[in-house]
Chains A and B, each alone.
Chain A
Amino acid sequence: MNTLPLLLRRLQFPGLWRWLMPGMLVLFFLAILLWLPWQARQMESNERQEKLIADTLWVEQTIRFQLTRNEESLRTLGRDIGNDNLSTEQMHQRLEQLLNNGRELARVIRVDALGEAIASSDPELHLLAPTPQFLATAARARISGNPQYSQPAAPKPGAAMTMDYHLPLYRGKTYIGSLVATYRIDKLLDEMVPWWFAQDNQITLLDRDDKVLARRAAAGPGHGVYTHKRALDLRGASVTLVTDSIKSEPHLLPNLLVGSVIALSLGLLWSLIALWRDISRRLATEGALRQQMSFRTAMENSLVTGLRARDLEGRVTYVNPAFCQIVGYPPEELVGKLPPMPYWVPEAMDEYQQRFAGVLAGTITPQVETVFQRSDGALIPVLIFEAPLVDSDGKQTGWMGSILDISDRKRVEELNRQQQEKLQSNARLATMGEISSILAHELNQPLAAISSYTTGALNLIERAAVNNEAIDCSTLKPALEQASAQARRAGQIIRSVHQFVKKRAPERQEVALQDLVEGIRALIELQARKYHVVLQTSIPLDLPKVRADSMMIEQVLLNLTRNAIEAMQDVAPGRRILRLLAHFDAAQSQVAVAVIDQGCGMAPELAERLFSPFFSTKAEGMGMGLNICRTAIEFHGGTLCHDANPQGGTIFKFALPVARSGPL
């Protein structure tokens, strides 16, 4: 079924073929609709015609029967006459009886062989001069020996039409005259046609020249629609019975039918046109939609931003190629999936679940930065933008998210950070080098001078001893004075450097540990993300303020977290959790801080040398970090100690004094 239209569409005849079949069907239907009432009318008309014919036949039969009965009576009379056993009186009686029996008979007369009337049904025997037609009929009857009818005619102009029946009479073989019965044609119709038939039809008798002999039009003239002709089989005369129904052709019914058919057809056509217009509108809309769809598809395919649609249950309903490329899974492995998704990173599962719970609750963060795991295991930092997906009724059906692969950006950020760090450390080193160079130069001068003066003085003393001369104190004195002055100068230099260093003495202020951690959280997370470490901080909100130099403590925390993060770079991703805990130790009036990693832990021999300067386990380490940390913590009156983490890894702990005025 489908292949044909498909094929036709491909052949570029969509309009023609789509409309040909229904068009033809509609035309056929209309033709049948028009033909059916016509046919009904035809049938009705046929039926009427047949009925008329049947009735006409019946009327003819009736007329024939009556005529035959009269003929029978006349023949009986004729036989009696031939046997000559009738008196004139009897004769007359019989004739009268005949007239009484058949009222259509005008009169009956007895003529002799010469054509003279000898008896008549009329009271008096008056005979008109026989017309030629009368004579001719009589002659025909006599010659043939059979009764004959005469052609109907009017005996006198203006008189009613009559028709004679001549019955030749024989006695033995001798012609003895005839019996002539005269029928009044109009009476024939009046008497013999039943009233019910006359009510519906106009009945006419015609002669052979189609001249009207008699007409009965009781119910008005016929309409000439249903007519029937029937010849009355009368020997010697040619009379035709014509019936014409007063019923006209059936009008109302066919008109109603045809009218309704036409109305229906028009309605059908109108609805077809409306349907066609609707369909073409739909087709146009569909075409526009298809174009929009292809436009949209092309757009989605050309995007480098990943797109992902989810329904309200979190089931993925759509992904675009860019998204598949980012996560490395084909669309069929993603569409229809419910969380947990295959691209979720194991160690960040909690974070995803939490966010997903937010999605289900309808609260969604419009912009989120997170990490996806590609099918090959590579971790990709991504930026997700979520927006509600709303259907045409304004009801929300899900969420649409666009996912941006920000690995490049992250890489650049990381590179920048590293460069910045390197630069800073270089600058630090350069400054250190410069300071030491200046210091060396500054100290070298007085030291060299002192050395030269004293050496010179010694040289002189030696020479004097060798030459056995007295030492000239006046020559030695200025040199020694100079040496002393230079020694003082060196002392001054050292004092000034000390003062310079002293200027940067730490300042202890009341700070909230929370603010302090928040201040460096971004820095810690930056490093943590690099090694895919999850940072968990647990700092009670009611923690009292501490008295500390925030810069130093920040340095300590940065140092410790950095060590912790780097210690975990070789453990399984799921275990890379860095915890930063703090609690208030009321007994000591201290805030205890712990930095806990789940890294590789520390060997005992390593732990011993941990705080010694210039000791480092890192290839690039200077071995100063923990040393500085310890000095900083000791400056705050605490100690920096470490412990093995029961879950593996190391715990670094330190405590800071609580500010006296701080809230408790």
Chain B
Amino acid sequence: MLHIVDDEEVVRDSLSWLAASRAIAARAYGGAQEFLSAIEGQFAPQGDCVLLDVRMPDMNGVAVFDLLAERGLTLRLPVIFLTGHGDVPMAVDALKRGAFDFFEKPFNDNALMDRVQQGLAGSRQAGAMALVHARLATLSVREREVLDLILAGKMNKVVADKLGISMRTVEVHRANVFDKMQVKTAVELAGLLK
């Protein structure tokens, strides 16, 4: 989902139209506050990207970015700044602090959309990675050891020998790992943790 944050209705409208022309789902916000209240609470960005206008009447775009960074969202939520004349240094500064990109108005619309798509893809991936890591975090130490050995392609028996536990226990752990990682097969698990 592309989040367009701009106080100018014309810009919001035209950018939404542009995104639609590239088959990108987009949602427009009239200001910083509107956007921030929309993503409040449990917001796990995955496949999201933000087009943020630097100059807005209620809040500076960079300040919005800082708030997102504080919440640790910027890793998974690429932010592309849209700057007007003279805002370039500000945008460069934001870029150094982790913004995805910035475009100076007037911009090449399709180049912007290409970048948006890259951002969306990156976000999707980062979101997935975050999910896997979240699932890994739920594993117990023994389950983690079992997982590592499974990924190494060891049979249950070998795992039991290595860990000095019974075959039966290994199977329970294995089932738990598959369950917690939300996979059905070892191949699927390996693909997830590739």
> Is the beta-carbon distance between A448 and B14 smaller than 8 angstroms?
yes
Known contacts: A447-B106, A451-B109. The answer to whether A440 contacts B84 by CB under 8 A is: yes
Asked whether any CB of chain A lies closer than 8 Å to the CB of B13, the reply is yes
> Is the beta-carbon distance between A449 and B10 smaller than 8 angstroms?
yes
Complex interface: chain A residues within 8 A of B8 (CB): 445, 449
Known contacts: A448-B105, A455-B110, A456-B18. The answer to whether A441 contacts B85 by CB under 8 A is: yes
Known contacts: A444-B85, A486-B10. The answer to whether A451 contacts B106 by CB under 8 A is: yes
CA distance A444 to B82 in the complex (A): 11
Say which residue of A437, A446, A452, A463 sits within 8 Å of B109 (CB atoms).
A452
> Is the beta-carbon distance between A441 and B14 smaller than 8 angstroms?
no
Complex interface: chain A residues within 8 A of B14 (CB): 448-453, 456, 479, 482, 486
Say which residue of B13, B17, B18, B106 sits within 8 Å of A444 (CB atoms).
B106
Complex interface: chain A residues within 8 A of B15 (CB): 452
CA distance A300 to B22 in the complex (A): 93
Complex interface: chain B residues within 8 A of A444 (CB): 84-85, 105-106
In angstroms, how far is the closest chain A Cβ from the Cβ of B29? 17
In angstroms, how far is the closest chain A Cβ from the Cβ of B158? 54
Known contacts: A448-B14, A449-B11. The answer to whether A437 contacts B86 by CB under 8 A is: yes
Asked whether any CB of chain A lies closer than 8 Å to the CB of B37, the reply is no
> Is the beta-carbon distance between A479 and B85 smaller than 8 angstroms?
no
Asked whether any CB of chain A lies closer than 8 Å to the CB of B185, the reply is no
Known contacts: A437-B86, A444-B85, A459-B21. The answer to whether A482 contacts B105 by CB under 8 A is: no
CA distance A440 to B8 in the complex (A): 15
Of all chain A residues, the one with the shortest Cβ separation from B20 is: A456
Asked whether any CB of chain B lies closer than 8 Å to the CB of A218, the reply is no
CA distance A453 to B110 in the complex (A): 11
Asked whether any CB of chain B lies closer than 8 Å to the CB of A161, the reply is no
List residues of B (128-174) whose CB comes within 8 Å of A's CBs.
none
Complex interface: chain A residues within 8 A of B21 (CB): 455-457, 459-460, 463
In angstroms, how far is the closest chain B Cβ from the Cβ of A502? 24
Complex interface: chain A residues within 8 A of B20 (CB): 456
Of all chain A residues, the one with the shortest Cβ separation from B86 is: A437
CA distance A455 to B107 in the complex (A): 11
Complex interface: chain B residues within 8 A of A446 (CB): 10
In angstroms, how far is the closest chain A Cβ from the Cβ of B182? 36
Say which residue of B11, B22, B55, B86 sits within 8 Å of A448 (CB atoms).
B11
Number of A residues with CB within 8 Å of any CB on chain B: 23
Complex interface: chain B residues within 8 A of A436 (CB): 85
In angstroms, how far is the closest chain B Cβ from the Cβ of A434? 10
Complex interface: chain A residues within 8 A of B13 (CB): 449, 482
Complex interface: chain B residues within 8 A of A450 (CB): 14
CA distance A445 to B20 in the complex (A): 20
Known contacts: A437-B86, A452-B15, A452-B17. The answer to whether A459 contacts B10 by CB under 8 A is: no
CA distance A449 to B12 in the complex (A): 9
Say which residue of A437, A441, A456 sits within 8 Å of B17 (CB atoms).
A456
CA distance A436 to B21 in the complex (A): 33
CA distance A531 to B11 in the complex (A): 57
> Is the beta-carbon distance between A448 and B85 smaller than 8 angstroms?
no
In angstroms, how far is the closest chain B Cβ from the Cβ of A497? 15
Of all chain A residues, the one with the shortest Cβ separation from B111 is: A455
> Is the beta-carbon distance between A455 and B18 smaller than 8 angstroms?
yes
Of all chain B residues, the one with the shortest Cβ separation from A457 is: B21
Of all chain B residues, the one with the shortest Cβ separation from A440 is: B85
> Is the beta-carbon distance between A459 and B110 smaller than 8 angstroms?
yes
> Is the beta-carbon distance between B84 and A441 smaller than 8 angstroms?
yes
Say which residue of B10, B55, B86, B109 sits within 8 Å of A455 (CB atoms).
B109
Complex interface: chain B residues within 8 A of A441 (CB): 55, 84-85
> Is the beta-carbon distance between B10 and A445 smaller than 8 angstroms?
yes
Of all chain A residues, the one with the shortest Cβ separation from B103 is: A448
Of all chain B residues, the one with the shortest Cβ separation from A433 is: B86
Of all chain B residues, the one with the shortest Cβ separation from A453 is: B14
CA distance A441 to B105 in the complex (A): 9
Complex interface: chain A residues within 8 A of B107 (CB): 448, 451
Known contacts: A445-B8, A446-B10, A447-B106. The answer to whether A453 contacts B17 by CB under 8 A is: yes
Complex interface: chain B residues within 8 A of A447 (CB): 105-106
CA distance A451 to B10 in the complex (A): 11
> Is the beta-carbon distance between B105 and A479 smaller than 8 angstroms?
no
Of all chain B residues, the one with the shortest Cβ separation from A454 is: B109
In angstroms, how far is the closest chain B Cβ from the Cβ of A431? 15
CA distance A463 to B18 in the complex (A): 13
Complex interface: chain B residues within 8 A of A459 (CB): 18, 21-22, 110
Known contacts: A444-B106, A452-B18, A459-B22. The answer to whether A437 contacts B10 by CB under 8 A is: no
Of all chain A residues, the one with the shortest Cβ separation from B17 is: A456
Say which residue of B11, B22, B109, B110 sits within 8 Å of A445 (CB atoms).
B11
Q: Which one of B17, B85, B105, B109 has the highest number of Cβ atoms from chain A below 10 Å of its Cβ?
A: B17
> Is the beta-carbon distance between B106 and A448 smaller than 8 angstroms?
yes
CA distance A459 to B22 in the complex (A): 7
CA distance A446 to B18 in the complex (A): 15
Complex interface: chain A residues within 8 A of B105 (CB): 444-445, 447-448
Complex interface: chain B residues within 8 A of A460 (CB): 21
In angstroms, how far is the closest chain A Cβ from the Cβ of B91? 14
Q: Which one of B8, B86, B106 has the highest number of Cβ atoms from chain A below 10 Å of its Cβ?
A: B106
> Is the beta-carbon distance between B109 and A456 smaller than 8 angstroms?
yes
Interface string of B63-105 (1 = CB under 8 A from A): 0000000000000000000001110000000000000000001
Hey, which bits of chain B sit against chain A, CB under 8 A? 8, 10-11, 13-15, 17-18, 20-22, 55, 84-86, 105-107, 109-110
Interface pairs (25), CB distance under 8 Å = A441-B55, A441-B84, A444-B105, A445-B11, A445-B105, A447-B105, A448-B14, A448-B105, A449-B8, A449-B10, A449-B11, A451-B106, A451-B107, A452-B15, A452-B109, A453-B18, A455-B21, A455-B110, A456-B17, A456-B22, A459-B21, A479-B14, A482-B13, A482-B17, A486-B10
Which 10 interchain pairs have the tightest Cβ spacing? Answer: A452-B14, A455-B109, A440-B85, A459-B21, A456-B21, A456-B18, A449-B14, A449-B10, A444-B105, A452-B18
Given contacts A441-B85, A452-B14, A455-B21, 17 further A-B contacts (CB under 8 A): A437-B85, A440-B85, A441-B55, A445-B8, A445-B105, A446-B10, A447-B105, A448-B14, A448-B105, A448-B106, A448-B107, A452-B17, A455-B18, A456-B20, A456-B22, A482-B10, A482-B13
